[in-house]
């Protein structure tokens, strides 16, 4: 099937840095291929702006394969745009209509301050993972084969599903409270479900939840918006599991 081309109007958030006031600016863009991704469309816009001797729009991207989670944008009022189960880089322009006006904004959260234009600082997620999202391997001279530890398939599947979280922050952006509990719940769950993660389970959940609170994320009110907008379909069951792990750790804490 031959490619189609559309003309669109973009309302894009421009902000020089984290200390200056930003606002929406309007750009017209013609002959956009419906086969192109949303990021390729932004590349086309930036090429146009450079040719006009204007400053290009700053936006995050890396793998462009739905793996890294860096392409986080708020498009027409939804995290990652109007499609479901995809990241921004996987969103294609065939989702939009000829002549449509598209609003593009950065994540909105106190814990994700704007760096420039559409780029936000998501290092709060890194600090949460550093606080406890790891497993120490103390072999004492003996290395145990990973396959020697039996794991029920149901637990392995749930751990794998939780580990699919790419840390994009869509859960935070879509939550009215700016909560990071789906992200933290997924990171806690992927270890809590496996025997390798049991050794440090108590301290892990306490440290990660404590760091989450220190970063300024809001609390969960179980509206489920995070699960709906998550490009990897992470279940809010992970929030419940994190809460159980946290309560158990609080009760047994020395």
pLDDT tens-place string over residues 150-174: 899 999 999 999 999 999 999 999 9
- Class of the CATH-defined domain 5-115: alpha beta
Q: What's the mean pLDDT in 242-253?
A: 93
pLDDT digits (tens, 9 = 90+) for 35-77: 999 999 999 999 999 999 999 999 999 999 999 999 999 999 9
In the predicted structure, residue 184 carries a pLDDT above the cut 70: yes
Q: Which residues contact 96 (CB under 8 A, 6 or more apart)?
A: 6, 8, 102
- Residue 60: C-alpha distances to residues 135, 178, 208, 209, 247 (Å): 29, 20, 26, 27, 37
Q: What's the mean pLDDT in 64-91?
A: 96
In the predicted structure, residue 183 carries a pLDDT above the cut 60: yes
CB-CB contact of 180 with 217 (8 Å): yes
Q: Which of 25, 16, 35, 78 is nearest to 44 (CA)?
A: 35
What are residue 167's phi and psi, to 5 degrees? 65, 35
CB-CB contact of 215 with 124 (8 Å): yes
- Class of the CATH-defined domain 122-252: mainly alpha
Q: Which of 134, 135, 190 is nearest to 157 (CA)?
A: 190
Angstrom distance (rounded) from CA 198 to CA 135: 9
Instruction: Tell me what pLDDT residue 134 has.
Output: 83
Q: What's the mean pLDDT in 99-127?
A: 97
Most confident of 131-140, 156-165, 194-203, 245-254: 156-165
Angstrom distance (rounded) from CA 170 to CA 174: 6
Angstrom distance (rounded) from CA 106 to CA 128: 21
CB-CB contact of 133 with 191 (8 Å): yes
Kindly state the helix (H) or strand (E) to which residue 120 belongs, with its residue range: strand 119-120
Instruction: Tell me what pLDDT residue 139 has.
Output: 63
Give the pair of three-digit tokens for residue 78: 């939804």
Enter the pTM of the model: 0.93
Kindly state the helix (H) or strand (E) to which residue 154 belongs, with its residue range: helix 153-163
Q: What is the mean pLDDT of the chain?
A: 94
Give the pair of three-digit tokens for residue 90: 């996987």
Instruction: Tell me what pLDDT residue 2 has.
Output: 61
Share of the chain above pLDDT 70, in %: 96
Angstrom distance (rounded) from CA 122 to CA 112: 5
Tell which wins on pLDDT, 2 or 248.
248
Q: What's the mean pLDDT in 92-119?
A: 97
Share of the chain above pLDDT 90, in %: 88
Chain centroid, CA 235 distance in Å? 14
Angstrom distance (rounded) from CA 224 to CA 230: 10
Q: What's the mean pLDDT in 3-24?
A: 96
Instruction: Tell me what pLDDT residue 147 has.
Output: 76
Instruction: Tell me what pLDDT residue 28 has.
Output: 98
* pLDDT band (50, 70, 90) for residue 254: low
Instruction: Tell me what pLDDT residue 211 has.
Output: 97
CB-CB contact of 233 with 87 (8 Å): no
Residue with tokens 């301290």: 203
Angstrom distance (rounded) from CA 199 to CA 136: 9
Q: What's the mean pLDDT in 120-147?
A: 84
Q: Which of 7, 23, 10, 34 is nearest to 101 (CA)?
A: 10
Domain ranges of the chain: 5-115, 122-252
In the predicted structure, residue 78 carries a pLDDT above the cut 60: yes
């Amino acid at each position: 099937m031959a490619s189609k081309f559309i003309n669109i109007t973009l309302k894009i958030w421009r902000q020089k840095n984290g200390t200056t006031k930003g606002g929406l600016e309007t750009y017209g863009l013609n002959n956009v291929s419906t086969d192109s991704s949303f990021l390729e469309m932004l590349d086309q816009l930036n090429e146009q702006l450079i040719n006009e001797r204007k400053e290009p729009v700053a936006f995050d991207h890396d793998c462009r394969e739905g793996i890294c989670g860096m392409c986080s944008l708020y498009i027409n009022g939804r995290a990652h745009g109007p499609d479901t189960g995809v990241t921004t880089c996987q969103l294609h322009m065939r989702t939009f209509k000829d002549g449509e006006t598209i609003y593009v904004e950065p994540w909105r959260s106190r814990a994700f301050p704007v760096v420039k234009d559409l780029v936000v600082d998501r290092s709060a997620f890194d600090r949460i993972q550093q606080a406890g999202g790891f497993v120490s391997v103390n072999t004492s001279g003996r290395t145990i084969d990973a396959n020697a530890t039996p794991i029920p398939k149901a637990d392995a599947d749930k751990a794998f599903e939780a580990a699919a979280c790419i840390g994009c922050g869509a859960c935070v952006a879509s939550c009215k409270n700016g909560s990071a509990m789906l992200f933290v719940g997924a990171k806690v769950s992927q270890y809590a479900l496996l025997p390798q993660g049991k050794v440090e389970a108590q301290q892990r959940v306490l440290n990660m939840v404590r760091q989450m609170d220190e970063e300024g994320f809001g609390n969960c009110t179980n509206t489920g918006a995070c699960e709906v907008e998550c490009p990897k379909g992470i279940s809010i069951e992970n929030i419940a599991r994190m809460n159980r792990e946290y309560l158990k750790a609080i009760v047994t804490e020395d």
